[in-house]
Amino acid sequence: MTAPIQAIRPKRTIDDLAIFGGPKLFDRPRPIGQLDLPDEEKFFAYARKIYESGCITNNGPLVQTLERQLCELHQVDHCVALANASLGLILLMEALADGRRGEVIMPAFTYPGLPHLAQWAGQYPRFCDVDPETHTLAPNAVEAAIGVETTAILAVHQVNSPCLIDELQAIGDAHGVPLFFDSVHGIHCTYNGRPLGSFGRAEIFSLHATKLLNGFEGGYATTNDGALADTLRMKRNFGIDRSGSVATLGLNAKLNEAHAALALSALDDQEQIIRRNRERVEAYHRHFAQIPSLVWIPYRGTRMNYEFALLCVDPQWPLGRDVIVSVMREENALARPYYSPPLHLSSHCPPGMVPPHLPVTERLARGIIQMPVGELVNEADIMALAELMAFLFSHAPEVTSRLSRQ
């Protein structure tokens, strides 16, 4: 982490808080995305190859190189590069449903969008509760929800833990229901020592700029199922097979050479990014250690990417989670309530659905703050945030009182 380059203005009285009109703690926003741009010259060197080959899209040489390197990274047989991860999830759900309209089991404690993706694939979301330790799909909840209408189980690896893969796979196998993974937060992570990417029927990863491996936008599917990989290759290209005939429902979901150029440039930097991510998370732990009733969500798994710093605020903390987030955002620290509201209680829930009661999900969604991280946040920023939190802890009654009058 580099030295601070922007002024940080500590708080002495509550008038100094930006929410009460004081100067912002940070001149410029401190976001929550990874936002690492790969080395400019390395990207430009790859981009010049596009001009040399004259091949721009439609499974060009850089896309093919990227797919090969990602197969190695994930120790998996097939990688299918895609325009983005959302399209990958839609195509995969549609492929696994095999013409049926049914339900896809998914967690509600995850990022917005998943229920819509199921709908585009002609499926209906079926929300299940999560495990209190890993925050991933709870096997007993999946077992209770699975039925003849289930077309797939969509398990989402969390940043703090991979899914309970063996248990979920056993349930899927017992019921003959395909299991697949949203692995957007799982790149470079392992489960029982094996890289994520070859579990279930397939896994879907992201190349979005806010993610670890930055390809501007983009995504990819990994699988050891050759027939499924072929199907996804056809679906990303209007459903057209090698002979030029239409063999399956498709659209345009191709990754082009520019995205592949940036992603290839980014691949070399991954170890360093993860090291800096870990340093950032450890700096949070260190500098926040003296503030009572705050717990950092621990990382589980043998190898993780430390993409997020997730702060759990105890209900006995003198200010509520959402108040803390509002105060921080005014200071240009773009913290967010983490996965809150959960999907089943949000506007992403399909109209007319009676939301299930998901106690673990609902408890988790009340208490966690996603703290600023990524390449635009350094240790001085984290120290300043710790000071801000300590200040809020000791001035909570004053803050509450002033807020109630605003």
Quick note: the x/- pattern for a second copy over 294-323, rule CB under 8 A, is ------------------------------
Instruction: Pull the structure tokens for residue 207.
Output: 């190349």
* Segment contacting a second copy by CB under 8 A, of 84-92, 268-276, 382-390, 395-403: 84-92
Polymer length of the chain: 406
When binding is defined by CB under 8 A, the residue of 9, 24, 116, 329 that contacts a second copy is 116
CA distance 254 to 100: 25
CA distance 379 to 311: 16
Q: Note whether 48 binds a second copy by CB under 8 A.
A: yes
When binding is defined by CB under 8 A, the residue of 8, 251, 267, 380 that contacts a second copy is 251
Rank residues 170 and 240 by Cβ distance to a second copy and give the closer one: 240
275, exposed or middle or buried, with CB in 10 Å at 0-12, 13-18, 19+?
exposed
CB of 231 to a second copy, least distance (A): 14
Rank residues 11 and 321 by Cβ distance to a second copy and give the closer one: 321
When binding is defined by CB under 8 A, the residue of 12, 21, 51, 242 that contacts a second copy is 51
When binding is defined by CB under 8 A, the residue of 238, 278, 356, 395 that contacts a second copy is 238
Provide the residue type at 131 as one letter: D
Instruction: Pull the structure tokens for residue 328.
Output: 């921080």
When binding is defined by CB under 8 A, the residue of 7, 13, 44, 64 that contacts a second copy is 44
Rank residues 287 and 344 by Cβ distance to a second copy and give the closer one: 344
**Helix, strand or coil for residue 359?**
helix
Task: Return the residues of window 335-354 that contact a second copy according to CB under 8 A.
Answer: 346-348
Total number of residues that touch a second copy (CB under 8 A)? 49
Where do runs of H (alpha helix) occur along 20-149?
40-53, 61-74, 85-97, 114-120, 139-145
Q: Note whether 214 binds a second copy by CB under 8 A.
A: yes
Please state whether the peptide bond connecting residue 341 to the residue before it is cis, i.e. omega within 30 degrees of 0: yes
**Are 26 and 376 a contacting pair, CB within 8 Å?**
no
Angle ∠(385,383,189) on CA atoms, nearest 5: 85
**Are 302 and 193 a contacting pair, CB within 8 Å?**
yes
In the complex, which residues of this chain contact a second copy (CB under 8 A)? 35, 37, 40, 44, 47-48, 50-51, 54, 56-58, 83-87, 90, 112-113, 116-117, 119-120, 122, 208-209, 214, 216-217, 238-240, 245-247, 249-252, 254, 256-259, 262, 346-348
